[in-house]
Structure 1
Amino acid sequence: MECAEELATLSICSCASRLKLLRSLVRDAASLAGLGDEDVDAVVLSVNEACTNIMQHAYRMDPGGRIEVTLLDDGDALVVRLRDYAEPVDPAAVYVRDLEELRPGGLGLHLISSLMDEYGFLDPPADGGNLFQMKKYAARDRGRS
């Protein structure tokens, strides 16, 4: 594939009741992008965790916040972009903690780092908010079947 194909975009309010719909969409998109069952589960769990982090930390459980999820097939991987409209995050302040340093509820980024092939904040959008991207390569591109 020569260019990234946008498989789906979903805009949800910042409330946990929308995560079931999101998980279903992510599962379908990951399968369509050629990921195996284990990798599909990893992506679904990572997206759920990242959105939960946005709800808790960026929006402080305010259901009026908005999260935009874009799912792309770039030919090699499924790319997930999560956009929020909260106060900008300092990417240097968001890091994977050692397991000994974890606080209750502090496993989110640790989990994402163990399940996804790439992840991180992209340059913030010009009109504010944050843009977080995760990538999971299809098994065929990692030499697995």
Structure 2
Amino acid sequence: MERLKITINSDVKYIKILREAMKYFLKFNDYEDEEQIFFMELALNEAVANVIEHTYNYDNTKTVDIIFEIENKNFKVYIRDYGEKINLEEVKSRDLDDIKEHGLGVHIISQVFDHMMWKDINEEGNLLILEKSLGD
């Protein structure tokens, strides 16, 4: 298993670093599908931006832990925050026919990754796990 952990302050300026780190992590582990990497970067961007905006209300003194993991062509992204527990019933994509500037993050993430799940943790915060098969 290959694993990389990064902790950032909850500031959107650090999302670009996460995107680059994920791209190189995948490439270093022999995954070269540029189009899929781009879409995974976009989904990661949306997921972390949602934490920064909705969980932390742009409080850049908080932190977000991100882990990239590959095992047997299975790629996982763990996104851990330390904010208030989210209400899973409120986490959903808006209607695609409702044209707005925002609100498609959950839709993008669920289209790019095979699985998107929140793990119930007994501590403060939330843990989102994104999973994608990198198989042929």
* Runs of 4 or more above 6 Å deviation: none
Among 6, 9, 16, the alignment partner of 2:5 is 9
Distance 1:13 1:82 in 2: 13
For 1:100, the aligned partner's letter is: D
**1:10–1:70: 8 Å Cα contact kept in structure 2?**
yes
Residues 88-144 of structure 1 deviation map (CA, whole Å, 9 limit, x = unaligned)? 012122122321246431111111112111112111x2221000011121141xxxx
**1:9–1:68: 8 Å Cα contact kept in structure 2?**
yes
1:76-87 mapped onto 2 (5 Å cutoff) = 76-87=73-84
TM-score normalised per structure 2: 0.90
**2:82–2:126: 8 Å Cα contact kept in structure 1?**
yes
Distance 2:116 2:99 in 1: 20
Length, aligned pairs only: 135
Q: Which residue of 2 aligns with 1:67?
A: 64
Distance 2:127 2:30 in 1: 22
Gaps of 5+ in 2: none
Distance 2:93 2:102 in 1: 13
Q: Which residue of 2 aligns with 1:36?
A: 33
Q: Which residue of 2 aligns with 1:143?
A: none
1:132-143 mapped onto 2 (5 Å cutoff) = 132-140=128-136
Deviation at 1:84, TM superposition (A): 0.1
**2:114–2:132: 8 Å Cα contact kept in structure 1?**
yes
Gaps of 5+ in 1: 141-145
Deviation at 1:76, TM superposition (A): 2.9
Q: Which residue of 2 aligns with 1:54?
A: 51
Q: Which residue of 1 aligns with 2:125?
A: 129
CA spacing shift, 1:86–1:106, aligned 2, 3 Å: same
Q: Which residue of 1 aligns with 2:89?
A: 92
TM-score normalised per structure 1: 0.85
**2:81–2:125: 8 Å Cα contact kept in structure 1?**
yes
RMSD: 1.6
Distance 1:111 1:23 in 2: 15
Secondary structure of 1:99's aligned partner: coil
**2:79–2:127: 8 Å Cα contact kept in structure 1?**
yes
